[in-house]
Structure 1
């Protein structure tokens, strides 16, 4: 993998005045990619990078993080035909619109986030570099916030997407993976890109709202959410889609509830499987103890009321909700997928179990819930310490600025 060297003697990124970055993301739905795209667009101004953020349309039922634009002071351009689902006509129109944006903006760097934006954005950039941009080609960067090669599509569709990603990698200057495990999967398992193209850069966030949660906020949150006294709360957050495997969360909840009746389970998020999952909760006898809360912007309140966070996904990049929960002082349990081990770094902060094993999830959950409040609190504080040091927004911005500077210096 490449190293990031564009820095001065003090270790700070070299500033490149008046360089332009076109940042493209498929949509501003709830999740880490949206947070990263908006934060980087805003904060890289300090390093001399003037960015234009382009995003597409959310799918029906997806939560909206467009409110981040106003909060971060970011102006964005919407390309309505850019969307997650495959639609040949709209995809072609979106690629054409992205090509026109490239011609108008004339960026030094194109940085794409998420699969569809990465495909259409880089296709448009290849055409741009062969036509309008041939005298000053745009340098291409793509971030894998995970990948869609496991659990999303059938074998035939996955093979097509893999072929396209391998071809696009030939034209891409840098490929970023958000964890070492994702980098290894991309380069070794899926044979995308060359070792000199790929680098691993961990996610980074402003975790202050979560790190600041204290005992008083926890008491207020449980009162606001009507959590009875002496009741423990197990929480999960994410889109209610097949890849997140909330059915596994409910199976775990049934096993835990059969042993302890002083537990509530919060399911935060929405999606196409909500009705099915609500029906499953009723069939498992969990209607009274599982609360489907939908999308919430007050996640700090949710975490403040919780005692344990559980992630049951089949495929992940680096799970943002897990990072936020641990920053809130909550131990985490997760299936062993994607970049989870970059977050749950040791048994002292949480547990990692094989994917699909509801018994193991329940066993680990009961182990943590059975501890006294002092032990759980100490575990949560260790979790907070780990993620608040590893996933800072300041570190992320510096490393991306390093990478951009390296590309510019290669010209």
Structure 2
């Protein structure tokens, strides 16, 4: 039975954790998998419930951190080598940048037959300055030479890796989209909608516009607030905005709301109606999605945001910035895109949906079918198993 050592940066809430969890749980039974990774960082929401629900017990290496730290990095590298020596994997598959560096270096040193890496985000722009980005590119090109295959999670990302940043040759880069268990978004929609809207004091005729995810600089919640403030003054409909999530820019976002004269409430700590509602994290994300009418994403940079896949699974049209792999996620008739930072265009896209209920209904119906097979975990595990089989044959030639 081929053994797979799967390594992730950290078990925080997001696409990579879902990806490794489903691959660990549902990969073809011919493979044995050991999952290891770092813990979530301060200010991040834990993904423990994802692993617990699937009965997965990962091995935690606390020294694996997002930022470069020579002491921790050396310790993590040493531990990974020890695990490889003991587990004797046929494949080491790393996910995201830090795990990708430490894991691939350790696997190459220990002469693991097959080394695979998945890029989950866009590490080459928006986050870092020019010098740091150039350094990361050099490191990734070196690591790509040590890899049997590189996995991009969208065609756009493959184009960036191959043609724009020249990280690896085209034949080495495979596109395998993320996969999720989306079944909870297909059922009990009306029941969940009534429950959420009752709890959060939402009237039948109010249109709810939600943004879901971590509050961080790169997510640019300021764009969301400015666009909402704009449509509040221009729309003939009753609109409310919901910010679902939490993070380091929470206070800053609240301050901007005050500057824009948007009345807001911290729910459920303060139970009253307001145009803007901060809910913090909601574990059962199908509830706010069912209760929403439009879902937004305003990021300056993204990989393949889970929130937009889940939104479409829940039958919600999307208004988003056109960054990262987002265009690959959206049916052209479901998502409305604008360039990052463009408040005017973002607000126009929102207003179009708010003022056109027939379009809102049409987009909603198309959304679910678009993602049902494309982002299902069964497709993910099937495609990954096929790739592993091919690489194992090549590795043992």
Normalising by structure 2, report the TM-score.
Answer: 0.94
Give yes or no for the alignment of 1:185 onto 2:160. yes
Give yes or no for the alignment of 1:23 onto 2:6. yes
Give yes or no for the alignment of 1:362 onto 2:338. no
Q: 2:378 pairs with 382, 394, 411, which one? A: 394
In 2, distance between residues paired with 1:213 and 1:333? 24
Give yes or no for the alignment of 1:60 onto 2:42. yes
Aligned counterparts, 1:9-408, within 5 A: 18-44=1-27, 46-129=28-111, 137-260=112-235, 262-288=238-264, 289-346=275-332, 348-372=333-357, 375-408=359-392
Greater alpha carbon shift after TM alignment, 169-178 vs 253-262: 253-262
- Secondary structure of 1:26's aligned partner: strand
Q: Which residue of structure 2 lines up, in the alignment, with residue 8 of structure 1? A: none
Between the two proteins, the alignment pairs up a number of residues equal to 384
Cα contact 1:329–1:377 (8 A) shared by 2? no
In 1, distance between residues paired with 2:188 and 2:304? 22
Cα contact 1:268–1:293 (8 A) shared by 2? yes
Q: Deviations over 1:308-337 (max 9, x none)?
A: 011111111111100101110110111111
Q: Deviations over 1:241-279 (max 9, x none)?
A: 121111111111111112237211111122211111111
Greater alpha carbon shift after TM alignment, 28-37 vs 250-259: 250-259
- Secondary structure of 2:110's aligned partner: helix
**Structure 1, unaligned runs of 5 or more:** 1-17, 130-136
In 2, distance between residues paired with 1:396 and 1:323? 14
In 1, distance between residues paired with 2:281 and 2:295? 16
Shift of 1:62: 0.1
Shift of 1:217: 2.5
In 2, distance between residues paired with 1:119 and 1:168? 7
**Structure 1 consecutive aligned stretches of length 4 or more whose deviation exceeds 4 Å:** none
Greater alpha carbon shift after TM alignment, 256-265 vs 30-39: 256-265
Cα contact 2:150–2:173 (8 A) shared by 1? yes
In 1, distance between residues paired with 2:257 and 2:44? 22
Cα contact 2:92–2:116 (8 A) shared by 1? yes
Shift of 1:40: 0.4
- Secondary structure of 1:408's aligned partner: helix
- Secondary structure of 1:84's aligned partner: coil
Q: Which residue of structure 2 lines up, in the alignment, with residue 3 of structure 1? A: none
Q: Which residue of structure 1 lines up, in the alignment, with residue 269 of structure 2? A: none
Greater alpha carbon shift after TM alignment, 328-337 vs 146-155: 146-155
In 2, distance between residues paired with 1:229 and 1:93? 56
- Secondary structure of 1:62's aligned partner: coil
Q: Deviations over 1:344-371 (max 9, x none)?
A: 121x212111221111111011110112
- Secondary structure of 2:257's aligned partner: helix
- Secondary structure of 2:171's aligned partner: coil
- Secondary structure of 2:208's aligned partner: strand
Cα contact 1:211–1:388 (8 A) shared by 2? no
Shift of 1:215: 2.5
- Secondary structure of 1:304's aligned partner: helix
Cα contact 2:61–2:76 (8 A) shared by 1? yes
Cα contact 1:244–1:314 (8 A) shared by 2? yes
Greater alpha carbon shift after TM alignment, 166-175 vs 348-357: 348-357
